[in-house]
């Protein structure tokens, strides 16, 4: 009995650094956000990482201004979405996001019709391009805006493959006329950077912006 008692040890005292680490761990529970978007892909990403949220669909004019570059464009729209949502849900943690595709110096937004989607896919075929997502976060009176860039390589697509993919309907509401998480995945040859960014919400960047706010 005495041997057993001598072998028992009490829990060690935590030093300050260990306590700080534990405090950070306990405080890492994600707060509920209002996602200023009706995008099912962004909602899917938040569910994947178990980030509580509600959506607020908005009608924002997404027309690009004359001479506006891709970085300015996506950050401006992300901010506009977040600020509009904040007026409807004051005091909430608001997230706005906007994604676009760039190849060379040309911005590929959502296609206007099937012919436009075919044109975009012919441009992407066999080439690298960039996907940019602007993220805006509003917490009380504080606003943070950031952007993530990912590079994506398309395999060479035949005209039959392009026609088939466009006829599926998937490209029609997507920047760059493809969905990496959908049937378009069969044409993706390489990726450099954040996969979720290509889907429409760079969740690691969002986490960093929230953590630092």
Please tell us whether the domain made up of 17-212 is placed in CATH 3.90.1300.10: no
pLDDT at 137 over 70: yes
Kindly report, residue by residue over 169-183, the tens digit of the pLDDT. Answer: 999 999 999 999 999
The pLDDT of residue 28: 65
The active-site residue out of 98, 112, 163, 212 is 98
Domain ranges of the chain: 17-212
- 196-199's contacts with Cβ under 8 Å and 24+ in sequence apart are 196/45, 197/99, 197/131, 197/133, 197/148, 197/149, 197/150, 198/131, 198/150, 198/152, 199/41, 199/42, 199/44, 199/45
Kindly report, residue by residue over 22-36, the tens digit of the pLDDT. Answer: 444 434 689 999 999
Kindly report, residue by residue over 79-123, the tens digit of the pLDDT. Answer: 999 999 999 999 999 999 999 999 998 999 999 999 999 999 999
- Whole-number average pLDDT of the chain: 89
**Known active-site residue 194:** no
């Amino acid at each position: 009995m005495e041997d057993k008692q001598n072998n028992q040890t009490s829990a060690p005292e935590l030093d300050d650094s260990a306590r700080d680490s534990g405090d950070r761990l306990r405080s890492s529970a994600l707060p509920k956000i209002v996602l200023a978007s009706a995008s099912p892909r962004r909602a899917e990403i938040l569910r994947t990482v178990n980030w509580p949220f509600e959506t607020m669909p908005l009608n924002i004019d997404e027309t690009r201004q004359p001479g506006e570059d891709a970085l300015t464009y996506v950050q401006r729209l992300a901010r506009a979405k977040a600020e509009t949502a904040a007026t409807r849900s004051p005091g909430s943690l608001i997230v706005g996001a906007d994604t676009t595709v760039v190849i060379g110096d040309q911005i590929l937004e959502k296609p206007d019709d099937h012919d436009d989607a075919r044109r975009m896919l012919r441009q992407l075929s066999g080439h690298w391009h960039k996907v940019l997502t602007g993220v805006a976060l509003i917490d009380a009176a504080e606003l943070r805006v950031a952007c993530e860039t990912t590079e994506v390589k398309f395999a060479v697509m035949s005209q039959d493959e392009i026609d088939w993919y466009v006829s599926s309907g998937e490209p029609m509401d997507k920047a760059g006329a493809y969905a990496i998480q959908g049937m378009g995945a069969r044409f993706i040859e390489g990726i450099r950077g954040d996969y979720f960014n290509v889907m429409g919400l760079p969740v690691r960047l969002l986490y960093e912006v929230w953590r630092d706010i």
